[in-house]
Chains A and B, each alone.
Chain A
Amino acid sequence: KAGVTQTPRYLIKTRGQQVTLSCSPISGHRSVSWYQQTPGQGLQFLFEYFSETQRNKGNFPGRFSGRQFSNSRSEMNVSTLELGDSALYLCASSLEGGAETQYFGPGTRLLVL
């Protein structure tokens, strides 16, 4: 079974632009979570989607948003990019969410100039 895939793997943007990242979960998984990893703040939870609905949200500004499609694929969008948004964005999937193991993708490395 294929693992979690994320596209693109690398991205360079400039301040003020917006970006969309994509995540395809493991087949059969319905929960998709997103995390931001930076050297200063570590790994931080952004949000979780289940059955096309946002079920949990972390403490990030409204510039960070996401959605999930009927096939469980998910996208996250960051508008009006700031230098501090440079990070590794990790997507994780699990069957139903809750007390389950999350399987992580390789991440998308975003650099904002």
Chain B
Amino acid sequence: AQSVTQPDIHITVSEGASLELRCNYSYGATPYLFWYVQSPGQGLQLLLKYFSGDTLVQGIKGFEAEFKRSQSSFNLRKPSVHWSDAAEYFCAVGAGAAGNKLTFGGGTRVLVKP
């Protein structure tokens, strides 16, 4: 069975500083990986996804993530955070050919200090 771990429950970062959110997954086949962001009271917005190919993927809002198969990781990064980046971030792995089931990590809540 697939699983996703986000080791950091909370992260506080200063505005303008860099951000890295960690994600480790467990999946028997080639994973389909996603990062979503959720603002309070809102649904989930897709930041970026990895299906195959280039292991460094670019997303919206200046985010990028790197797939490392050897480490079973898909960490999310942003060089310079903005106050509007304060939200909860979820990493997810897709079941791929088995259908559209996503398994999510527990989420990382990001607080941005002025």
A residues whose Cβ falls under 8 Å from a Cβ of B:
4, 31, 33, 35, 42-45, 48, 50, 55-56, 58, 90, 92, 94, 97-107
Contacts and interface: CB of A to CB of B under 8 A. Distances in A.
A107 to B, nearest CB: 5
Contacts of A35: 102, 104
B60 interface: no
Interface residues of B, number: 26
Nearest to A46: B101
A31 B99 CA distance: 9
B43 A99 contact: no
B45 A104 contact: yes
Given A31-B100, A43-B102, A56-B100, 9 more contacts: A42-B106, A43-B92, A45-B103, A58-B101, A98-B100, A101-B34, A102-B46, A106-B43, A107-B43
Contacts of A58: 101
A10 to B, nearest CB: 10
Interface in B90-109: 90, 92, 94-107
Given A33-B101, A42-B104, A48-B100, A104 B44 contact: yes
A48 B97 contact: no
A48 B99 contact: yes
A33 B107 contact: no
A48 B92 CA distance: 16
B27 interface: no
B42 interface: yes
B1 to A, nearest CB: 10
A45 B106 contact: no
A62 B45 CA distance: 29
Contact of B102 (A33, A50, A55, A107): A33
Contacts of B45: 104
